[in-house]
Structure 1
Amino acid sequence: MLTRLSALVILLTGASPLFAQQDPAACTALRDTVFAAGHVTTARVVEAEGLPTYCEVRATALPAINIEVRLPMEGWNGKFYQAGCGGFCGILGRADASGGWVNAMRPGLERGYATATSDSGHHALSVVDAGWAHNNPHAERDWGWRSIGETNRVAQIMIDAFYGSASDQAIFQGCSTGGRMAHVAAQRYPDMFDGIISGAPAMDYPGLVATKMAWLVQANTADDGSQILGPEEAKLIGDAVLEQCDAVDGATDGAIADPRACDVTYSDLGLSNQQMDTLMKWREGPRNAAGEQLYPGGIPEGSEPFWWLWLTGNGTGGGKLIPAFVNGFGRYMAFPVDPGPEWTPMDFDFENDPARLATMSAVYNGDSPDLSAFRAAGGKMIVWHGWADAIVTPYKTVDWYEKAAAEAGGEDVLKENVALFMVPGVDHCGILPGPDGINADSLDPMTPLEAWLNEGTAPASIMAQ
């Protein structure tokens, strides 16, 4: 009742909803909101340092999608901002706890948006924990696509109940798995979001996490189970790459503008034949016995400083997340019938297993190049990817963009709705700092997306000003 009355006062006085202030009682009253196939668990006013005061609503969309909605107590701009999640998700609001902007609600809340995110439909102990998916097709479905729509549905219910009106614009932002979610949103829910930000999109999870990552693990495992390339070799290789490729783009700046233009000689590094074989397999990406490429590209030149986190470890127990991801995914998520905890990446069969991934690809993937429905709805999409990404290969993103351009009738046509930015020197989602400290904080895709949506100005850069 209080929020409806506030809305009526605004309507009668002509005041902008941007300046409307909500009563704290209206926030706690959201605990009593009734909606189909779900329920509110908590509602409270939160005063957080560096953020506008907001009404935090926790809700569940059945069967098990936990959702957090943050509603500005004053200064709501009338719009909605939804964030994705990383890895296998499972930890509600994890990105906001880190203080960064990737997969976080913070960028929206700072600008006056009502915001929301979810755990994608399950609870997990870490983002590499996939045990929740064991023989659980409903949870796999919710992680794959349904949590996107349900988060939006519940958030819109709360927005209407709190402010007395619906949002008049919606934006989605995500990186890695959140980038996959961004692509899924454009394809499964083409009318839901006016603007989408997709970073380092893991848009083909079975191809990436099952096929490619199993290839990487097998290539780096000796017959006795030992690791072939480690952090010391990674530094040797990285130094050689930088020395031979840094200036190819005309600037000696510690970053490789396009690894496809990089041609490196490794003969003077003292690598063994076995180590060279592993390196070449990492560079080319997965193939079957006939030499057919099973996933676009391999590990790009220039990504070596980040290998410790994703591929080799740091020698003291840190990193090596790729083996952790493929272990969980292969055991519990990749196949129609889960092989279970005894499965390892060494069991992946590159002749037969890629075809077995088709069932779950239909549940998870967002790599269709057909954006016709999203484009017809007038949606705008910024896709960004670091050229130094060692886990989600940038070659897949380039391959998708080229196919999307062909599907749209040419790149000039696609550019009316989709802008691609490939950023030299940037790690996966900008997690680790690259040359001159470049990381996620060096980027700002939100400002150009807002200008595109609200002023019609196509984005020329996503670098933070």
Structure 2
Amino acid sequence: MTEFKGRKVDWRLGGTAASILFTALVTGCGGSSSPSTATAPLTCDDSLKASFKPDAQTTVLTVTAFKKGEPLILSGAASPSTPMASNDICMVKLNVGPGNPGPAGAPSTSEGIGIEIWLPAKANWNGRVHALGGGGWQGGSAGSTTAIASSSAAAIAGNEGAVSSTTDTGHAIAGAGSFAMNPDGTINKPLWTDFASRGIHEQAVKTKALATAYYGSAPKYAYWEGGSTGGRQGLNLAQNNPTDFDGIIANYPAINWTRFITSELYPQIVYQRDLSGTPLTKAQSALVSNAAISACDLVGGQHLGYIVDPSSCTYNPVQDPNVLCTSSGGNNATSACVTTAQAQAMNKIWYGMTADGSVPDPATDNGWIEASSSALMGSGNHRWFGLTRGTTFYSPNFVGLASPDMEFPISSDVVALELQNSTIAGSGFANATGNGQSLWKQLSYSQLSNAYDRGVALQTNFGNINTDSPDLSAFKARGGKMLTWHGLADELIMPQGTINYYNRVASQMGGLAATQSFYRLYLAPGLGHGTPNGTANPSAVVPNFAPGQMYTLITDWVEKGIAPDTLTLQTTSGSTTRSMPTCVFPKKVSYLSGDPTTAASYSCS
């Protein structure tokens, strides 16, 4: 599938500009073709607004040149925290229509997809595109003429010398799913499509086209990097637009979108149905989660403070007198003790969503069995996976899935959209038929399961947001390379879902060896959702990826043919340093001998 297929490209750019754009679109990155004529490339000023016209739906909104050391700000006064330009860079903002018409101010009304592109000084360009993904519902200020959306993209352009970009995926309101419902309560198909896939494809196409026109030659290589929603976007690009990027980093990806996000509401439903609406306190979940860590983190006679292999952890608080209250037959008399019902609620949260609220004995099934399957998870009573044992129920970085403060808002938004009832969502969801009223609290286990099924059935209307196709044959055939890491203590996206997807890819693509020739997965013990410690143990020193480590690996693989193998992760906290290898899946870290806090004491097998 070529990038210009189905696009209304305006070839009336003037001979050279049209030739440059045509070359970029047809050859993609790494192509050897070059324009047959020459003309001056574009400049970073308002003349670019008239000069860059890749198609009838694209408008240049603003062009701003920043000198090295200038504050990265478009309006208002700079503050001490305002980032500064690390080098001379040019920011260009685009709008790509048609958007979605509607009443002014309605969340579903959109003028189009906003794209913010950062261009290094022409003498500093390294010939690469290094585009960035987003998070959550994305949205934001990529299409705003008064606010900068991504200082990270600006830093890539300034420090690395690559062209970078980001997008609002078609809606400016960040943090809520209201854009996905029309004012009359129906599904907003155009913006679901923009959010799910079209926005990032337009980001890729327009970023490369602008780079080609600005520098006078096409990018040699294009890379995508993202985590969470950005990870889902990377896999979406590989599945549906395989020529957009040469290399993709798709970390802790939000694939299986409606499946796992519907299940993210499950812990709160457990609180409502099993505990009369009274959540576990932070002290209670911390007590029991740390008991799970202590039961499963022993390596070489030493407690690491985090669990290396949660798939083998079968800790059951119902049978642990050290966490059970004396009223439940335990010996814990503190305010953090849990009743038998509360302990079983934790087992349910760890096992994951079931259609009827049941949970097996962890010794028989701790919730990991389906992760190793090559069949898509969710058709039986076990609808989706749960948080791994030892993972925190709440987080200082975002609302946790089992937080006592509130539900994870994206989950209640998604269930409201699946059931097409805005009042089910939390208070942040706005719609003319009724704003969110948190009526999710009234849902039974079977009703939540029905919402799960509705989400799957509505994929066509939802822009195929689940991004769960295992067919990556076109991406492999074009020579693409992809890397994913997922923390085994992810607080939001269960790593079992990524493992299940990778096994499905291997089955589709002819086995592990064939899959690993272009796509490799790493599982990192103790790491959270892009956080350095996803466990309930705040003192844990969890070995982590170094900044830029994955990007170096993907560029070496694409440009030099060096396939990554076992990696060493390392973290220093104060005077304490911890290191550990992370293995190419399905290999696991195996302790050999020696100090269990150093990577040299392990192997991959």
Report if TM-score (shorter chain) is over 0.5. yes
The 5 Å alignment of 1:37-76 reads 37-47=57-67, 49=84, 51-62=86-97, 63=99, 64-73=112-121, 74-76=123-125
User: 1:416 offset after TM fit, Å?
Assistant: 0.4
For residues 117 and 228 of structure 2, what CA distance do their matches in structure 1 show?
22
Contact 1:448 1:462 in 2 (8 A): no
- The answer for the alignment partner of 2:328 in structure 1 is none
**1:432-463 deviations in whole A, cap 9, x for unaligned?**
67632656766721011111111111112274
Which has the higher Rg, Structure 1 or Structure 2?
2
What TM-score comes out, normalization by structure 1 length?
0.84
> Compared with structure 1, are the counterparts of its residues 75 and 307 closer, same or farther at alpha carbon in structure 2 (3 Å cutoff)?
closer
Contact 1:180 1:198 in 2 (8 A): yes
- Give unpaired runs (5+ residues) of structure 1: 8-21
Contact 2:136 2:228 in 1 (8 A): yes
> Compared with structure 1, are the counterparts of its residues 425 and 98 closer, same or farther at alpha carbon in structure 2 (3 Å cutoff)?
farther
Contact 1:108 1:115 in 2 (8 A): yes
What letter matches 2:557 in structure 1? W
Alignment partner of 1:455 out of 540, 545, 560: 560
- The answer for the alignment partner of 1:355 in structure 2 is 453
Q: Are 1:284 and 2:351 matched, yes or no?
A: yes
For residues 31 and 97 of structure 1, what CA distance do their matches in structure 2 show?
20
For residues 212 and 86 of structure 2, what CA distance do their matches in structure 1 show?
22
Contact 1:30 1:161 in 2 (8 A): no
SS in 1 for 2:61: strand
For residues 292 and 87 of structure 2, what CA distance do their matches in structure 1 show?
46
Alignment partner of 1:326 out of 393, 396, 411: 411
Higher helix share: 1
Contact 1:248 1:261 in 2 (8 A): no
User: 1:223 offset after TM fit, Å?
Assistant: 7.0
Larger CA deviation: 298-307 vs 238-247:
298-307
Q: Are 1:301 and 2:392 matched, yes or no?
A: no
- The answer for the alignment partner of 1:345 in structure 2 is 440
> Compared with structure 1, are the counterparts of its residues 220 and 305 closer, same or farther at alpha carbon in structure 2 (3 Å cutoff)?
closer
> Compared with structure 1, are the counterparts of its residues 406 and 437 closer, same or farther at alpha carbon in structure 2 (3 Å cutoff)?
closer
The 5 Å alignment of 1:16-165 reads 25-32=43-50, 33-36=52-55, 37-47=57-67, 49=84, 51-62=86-97, 63=99, 64-73=112-121, 74-92=123-141, 106-107=155-156, 110-124=159-173, 126-127=174-175, 129-135=176-182, 136-165=188-217
For residues 413 and 251 of structure 1, what CA distance do their matches in structure 2 show?
38
- The answer for the alignment partner of 1:184 in structure 2 is 236
User: 1:52 offset after TM fit, Å?
Assistant: 2.8
What TM-score comes out, normalization by structure 2 length?
0.66
For residues 298 and 497 of structure 2, what CA distance do their matches in structure 1 show?
25
Q: How many residues align?
A: 433
RMSD after superposition:
3.0
> Compared with structure 1, are the counterparts of its residues 190 and 352 closer, same or farther at alpha carbon in structure 2 (3 Å cutoff)?
same
User: 1:50 offset after TM fit, Å?
Assistant: 6.2
> Compared with structure 1, are the counterparts of its residues 58 and 229 closer, same or farther at alpha carbon in structure 2 (3 Å cutoff)?
same
- The answer for the alignment partner of 2:469 in structure 1 is 368
For residues 224 and 261 of structure 1, what CA distance do their matches in structure 2 show?
28
Q: Are 1:310 and 2:400 matched, yes or no?
A: yes
> Compared with structure 1, are the counterparts of its residues 160 and 205 closer, same or farther at alpha carbon in structure 2 (3 Å cutoff)?
same
For residues 198 and 252 of structure 1, what CA distance do their matches in structure 2 show?
31
> Compared with structure 1, are the counterparts of its residues 163 and 31 closer, same or farther at alpha carbon in structure 2 (3 Å cutoff)?
same
> Compared with structure 1, are the counterparts of its residues 454 and 162 closer, same or farther at alpha carbon in structure 2 (3 Å cutoff)?
same
For residues 150 and 47 of structure 2, what CA distance do their matches in structure 1 show?
29
For residues 34 and 298 of structure 1, what CA distance do their matches in structure 2 show?
48
For residues 250 and 420 of structure 1, what CA distance do their matches in structure 2 show?
29
Alignment partner of 2:272 out of 216, 221, 227: 221
Contact 1:68 1:93 in 2 (8 A): yes
User: 1:250 offset after TM fit, Å?
Assistant: 6.8
For residues 290 and 243 of structure 1, what CA distance do their matches in structure 2 show?
27
- Give unpaired runs (5+ residues) of structure 2: 1-13, 21-39, 73-83, 100-111, 183-187, 325-337, 359-379, 426-438, 572-605
User: 1:219 offset after TM fit, Å?
Assistant: 0.8
SS in 2 for 1:256: coil
For residues 383 and 213 of structure 2, what CA distance do their matches in structure 1 show?
46
Q: Are 1:207 and 2:259 matched, yes or no?
A: yes
User: 1:278 offset after TM fit, Å?
Assistant: 1.4
Q: Are 1:420 and 2:521 matched, yes or no?
A: yes
For residues 519 and 287 of structure 2, what CA distance do their matches in structure 1 show?
38
**1:390-439 deviations in whole A, cap 9, x for unaligned?**
21000001111111112111111111001111111111122667632656
